[in-house]
Amino acid sequence: MIKAGIIGSTGYAGGELARLLLQREDVEIKWYGSRSYIDQKYASVYQNMFKLVDAECMDDNMKELAEQVDVVFTATPQGLCSTLVNEDVLSKVKIIDLSADFRIKDVEIYKQWYKLEHGSPEYIKEAVYGLPEINRDKIKDARLIANPGCFPTCSFLSTYPLVKEGIIDPNTLIIDAKSGTSGAGRGAKVDSLYCEVNENIKAYGVGVHRHTPEIEEQLSYAAGKPVTISFTPHLVPMNRGILVTAYASLAADVTEKEIRAAYEKYYKNEYFVRLLEPGVVPQTRWVEGSNFADVNFKLDPRTKRVVMMGAIDNMVKGAAGQAVQNMNLMFGLPENTGLKQVPLFP
């Protein structure tokens, strides 16, 4: 039995973690952490948990939590996890951090984009970027996981094979991404109000979105050289989902068959990455509620570019599901344990 604790359990990602873990017979959630709802019944915050969870919300006492559980998920705002991590904690418990605190290896870049002082920079090098499709072996032996961001997950999986194989010039890469409003979190914000979002679509964080350096860093590892991209996210009036449409110039003349072979090389044996049939475009409705990432591409010989496309559920593969996928690897379990949910439709 894996004993788990969730700090930030009343946010959207924390609630999704609870939903996924409660379905398992081999996991017990011992700690529902939430600063905002201490001593309140968890089921009073999320009524869907009525009769399923009898626990009350607790604080974020990492020292005490580390004595009680095997793994801690921190689904908290940027900056908190790095202040809670220390050697005493890491010697007792595995940590999967869903914030950005340990994703970026250069602490100065983290400070620049997140406008925060890092609480424990000594652990940045040790932390493993938790994208199983590329870091599976490192994740298995890790004690601190930096769970990837939702936009970076979809952007990377959509473009990785062509960057890795040198089929595109990565510095010509333009990523257009669209997300449902759950990606903005559960906190009250004017821009997330129903009347602000409904019947509307808008770009935001243009040129300055904080997921940009994370995407660039991971693509740089794939390319073997520094990569600079243009990344623009958009907010669309739906609860869940991310759709990425990326464009890049070809580095050499290739056929559609050769491009498809590159995707198959990296994803043929990946349970959660589904390379779609030719001509089928990814859609968020076909991955909703699941840990799947649907990807495909379209060669455009006229412009000598390729269009790369991907869709994920931002709350599952983009957050909680990927965190559970990482937990499975860390505890020697089949990667898809507890994550075989068929996408919801309608």
Active site residue ranges: 150
Q: In the numeric block, which tokens belong to residue 164?
A: 């890795």
Q: In the numeric block, which tokens belong to residue 29?
A: 């959630």
Which residues have C-beta within 8 Å of that of residue 140, sequence separation ≥ 6?
329, 330, 332
Which residues have C-beta within 8 Å of that of residue 313, sequence separation ≥ 6?
240, 241, 242, 284, 287, 288, 289, 290, 291, 292, 321, 343
Asked if 216 contacts 131 with a C-beta cutoff of 8 angstroms, the reply is: no
Which residues have C-beta within 8 Å of that of residue 263, sequence separation ≥ 6?
161, 162, 275, 295, 297
Exposed/middle/buried for residue 198 (C-beta within 10 Å: 0-12, 13-18, 19+): exposed
Which residues have C-beta within 8 Å of that of residue 301, sequence separation ≥ 6?
none
Three state DSSP letters for 204-221: CCCCCCCCHHHHHHHHHH
CA atoms within 13 A on the CB side of 278: 7
Exposed/middle/buried for residue 340 (C-beta within 10 Å: 0-12, 13-18, 19+): exposed
Three-state DSSP at 176 gives: strand
DSSP secondary-structure letter at 70?
S
> b/e for 24-44, b at 16 or more Cβ within 10 A?
beebebbbbbbeebeeebbbe
Give backbone dihedrals phi and psi of 311, rounded to 5 degrees, phi first: -140, 135
